[in-house]
Amino acid sequence: MEEASLMADLERFLEDRCLSVLNLPQKGRSLFATRGFRPGEVILSQKPYICVPNNNNNNTSSSSESRCDGCFKTNDNNLKRCSGCQVVWYCGSSCQKSEWKLHRHECKALSTLDKEKRKFVTPTIRLMVKLYIKRNLQNEKVLPVTTTDNYSLVEALVSHMSEIDEKQMLLYAQMANLVNLILQLPSVDLREIAENFSKFSCNAHTICDSELRPQGIGLFPFVSIINHSCSPNAILVFEEQMAVVRAIDKIPKDSEITISYIETAGSTLTRQKSLKEQYLFHCQCARCNNFGKPHDIEESAILEGYRCADEKCTGFLLRDPEEKGFVCQKCLLLRSKEEVKKLASEVKRVSENAPASPSAENKQGAIELYKTIEKLQVTLYNSFSITLMRTREKLLKMLMDVESWREALNYCRLIVPVYQRVYPATHPLIGLQFYTQGKLEWLLGETKEAVSSLTKAFDVLRISHGTSTPFMKELSAKLEEARAEASYIDRQTYNDDN
Ligand X SMILES: C[S@@+](CC[C@H](N)C(=O)[O-])C[C@H]1O[C@@H](n2cnc3c(N)ncnc32)[C@H](O)[C@@H]1O
- Where on the chain is the footprint of ligand X (CB under 6 A)? 26-30, 157-158, 160, 202-203, 224-225, 227-229, 279-281, 283, 285
- Nearest CB to ligand X, comparing residues 287 and 483: 287
Cβ of residue 288: shortest distance to ligand X, in angstroms? 9
- Nearest CB to ligand X, comparing residues 228 and 439: 228
What is the edge-to-edge ordering of all strands in the sheet holding 325-328? Answer: 317-319, 325-328, 334-336
Give DSSP secondary structure letters for 192-234.
Answer: HHHHHHHHHHHH-EEEE-TT--EEEEEE-TTGGGPEE-SS-SE
Beta bridge partners, 32, equal: 20, 256
Other Cβ atoms less than 10 A from the Cβ of 2: the count is 8
Give DSSP secondary structure letters for 65-89.
Answer: T---TTT----TT--EE-TTTSS-E
Cβ of residue 161: shortest distance to ligand X, in angstroms? 12
- Nearest CB to ligand X, comparing residues 75 and 272: 272
Helix (H, G, I), strand (E, B) or coil at 112: coil
Q: Are strands 214-219 and 50-53 parallel, antiparallel or unpaired?
A: antiparallel
Cβ(219)–Cβ(131) below 8 Å: yes
Cβ of residue 43: shortest distance to ligand X, in angstroms? 15
R_g over Cα of the chain: 25
- Nearest CB to ligand X, comparing residues 243 and 388: 243
**Whole-angstrom Cα distance, residue 134 to residue 155?**
14
Instruction: Report in angstroms the alpha-carbon separations of 55 from 95, 122, 129, 134, 383.
Output: 16, 8, 15, 20, 37
Cβ of residue 401: shortest distance to ligand X, in angstroms? 35
What is the edge-to-edge ordering of all strands in the sheet holding 242-247? Answer: 42-46, 242-247, 234-239
Cβ of residue 285: shortest distance to ligand X, in angstroms? 6
Rounded (10°) angle between helices 268-279 and 190-203: 160
- Nearest CB to ligand X, comparing residues 285 and 451: 285
Cβ of residue 232: shortest distance to ligand X, in angstroms? 10
Cβ of residue 466: shortest distance to ligand X, in angstroms? 23
- Nearest CB to ligand X, comparing residues 261 and 434: 261
Cβ of residue 260: shortest distance to ligand X, in angstroms? 10
Cβ of residue 338: shortest distance to ligand X, in angstroms? 41
- Nearest CB to ligand X, comparing residues 31 and 247: 31
- Nearest CB to ligand X, comparing residues 74 and 198: 198
Q: Are strands 19-24 and 28-33 parallel, antiparallel or unpaired?
A: antiparallel
Measured from each CB, the residue nearest to ligand X is 28
- Nearest CB to ligand X, comparing residues 78 and 152: 152
Secondary structure tally for the chain: helices H, strands E: 16, 15
